[in-house]
Structure 1
């Protein structure tokens, strides 16, 4: 090879490939967040609709079964998330409250608490109770139907129900007061004399008999009034006490009341 054939050595040109662009993740995150928000919104919307339906159904059933006025105010509370409970077939807990509920002459503020309430036929309540709180005017109205009881002079003074009357002795009116202990017997409220007063002085039952003879029989007696006849048979009167200025009646609720029509009929004493 001649000198003229020799070519100068040239440096090689290296081409560096561009790094691939990284795809930005934020559009996907935004999309995921939007989907999550939509799903959450749908869940809460469904929950609200389900809760409203359950509350309205319970309220409607109470009004129908107890023959209450259509505008009776009834507060229904179902704790917890509704949809899983509906899927499971029962409500974990239901609380119901209503004021001035009138069932015949028996009137008061009612509160009910029930657990494991089945939403399909064939089930029973596992545990349910009711409490009725009766004020002085409401108790007076109830006792007005008891023959011979001085309902107009009735009062509530914990732990007793009080009443007063007068004995006519040779034309003179002698005031007699009685403190009555409330109790529950076979579906009836029973008021039993606990203490007596004549003209403001405490006396015993024997002393009252000696002083007034047969007249004393007007106060020395129990005063029963059947409550069960105004309530569904599934409500069993358990106890009655006086708390403050209210007479408080506690009831156990038969678990079959939601599935047995006989339990919705009025009870007996």
Structure 2
């Protein structure tokens, strides 16, 4: 070997593993390691938020389901108390709207319906249906925004009104062709003559029942208004006079009769408007009075 070759400078070998030296970060671009740490924390935070959202969603579903069960039960219990019904009397309450939980959080229920079959109404009994809008969580803290109701009566349940409607005439009652039809008999010339009487029902401005006879048939013959002015048919004249029957003493002061409809199924549906303060004011739930 020549002396020149022995004195050549030593050239270092290239690093096979960059970054494994003392510097630790050799070969790694500046700022990349902190970015990786931030990325890990971001992923962890996202996972935590997703888990929390899932837990909140599950909790909301459970709360909604629970309120859907408990809120109607509370309303049904309150209705039984207001109407003095037994604990086992059927009452059905329904809360409308997309979320009972949201309605509870906002302080009131926007659409509540209540159905009470065979409810007592003085000497009448019928099915009560009520619909209220914006019912407060505690009804004693504020009035309803609006409320309407109806009472459905069968011919049998209308019997107590029959005496007032027909001047004491009793008989078989049916509801068809938009009117109340009564089949009975009256004494005429010493014999009982079959009588059929048809009357329409409506609401007066005062909230009473307007009864207007529409037709009469005695012994199978139609009785005309001309016949009522002379001859034996005169005795039927009182039966064919329109009259107003007061029902204010059978209803709470806060309810006003607005309409009466005879359905095709043979029932009478009486519609009512409710004073918004009927739940708030006990005086509105007291029975009214008839007479001057």
Q: Which structure is larger by alpha-carbon Rg, 1 or 2?
A: 2
Aligned to 1:266: 287
Aligned to 2:23: none
- Aligned match of 1:88 in 81, 106, 111? 106
Shift of 1:235: 0.8
Per-residue CA deviations over 1:221-256 (Å, capped at 9, x if unaligned) read: 345544332222111111212122111111000011
Shift of 1:13: 2.7
Aligned to 1:247: 268
Aligned to 2:171: 152
Query: Structure 2 regions of 5+ residues with no counterpart?
Result: 21-27
Shift of 1:12: 2.6
Query: Structure 1 regions of 5+ residues with no counterpart?
Result: none
- Aligned match of 1:45 in 48, 62, 74? 62
Checking the alignment, whether the CA contact within 8 Å between 2:173 and 2:181 is kept in structure 1 is: yes
Checking the alignment, whether the CA contact within 8 Å between 2:195 and 2:219 is kept in structure 1 is: yes
In structure 2, the CA distance between the partners of 1:89 and 1:29, relative to structure 1 (3 Å rule), is closer
In structure 2, the CA distance between the partners of 1:143 and 1:193, relative to structure 1 (3 Å rule), is same
Aligned to 1:197: 217
Shift of 1:134: 0.9
Checking the alignment, whether the CA contact within 8 Å between 1:105 and 1:142 is kept in structure 2 is: no
Shift of 1:142: 4.3
1:67 aligns with 2:84: yes
Shift of 1:150: 3.2
Give the TM-score, by structure 2 length.
Answer: 0.79
- Aligned match of 1:143 in 149, 156, 162? 162
Counterpart Cα distance in 2 of 1:65 and 1:145? 28
1:1-269 to structure 2, matched below 5 A, reads: 3=4, 4-6=6-8, 9-17=11-19, 32-80=49-97, 81-120=99-138, 121-143=140-162, 148-185=167-204, 186-212=206-232, 215-222=235-242, 224-244=244-264, 245-269=266-290
Paired positions, count: 269
Checking the alignment, whether the CA contact within 8 Å between 1:233 and 1:262 is kept in structure 2 is: yes
If asked which structure has higher relative contact order (CA below 8 Å, sep 6+), I would say 1
Counterpart Cα distance in 2 of 1:154 and 1:60? 35
Shift of 1:65: 1.1
Shift of 1:66: 1.3
Checking the alignment, whether the CA contact within 8 Å between 2:227 and 2:233 is kept in structure 1 is: no
Residue range with higher mean Cα deviation, 203-212 or 155-164: 203-212
Secondary structure of residue in 1 paired with 2:13: coil
Give the TM-score, by structure 1 length.
Answer: 0.85
Counterpart Cα distance in 2 of 1:151 and 1:68? 30
Counterpart Cα distance in 2 of 1:115 and 1:8? 96
In structure 2, the CA distance between the partners of 1:45 and 1:173, relative to structure 1 (3 Å rule), is same
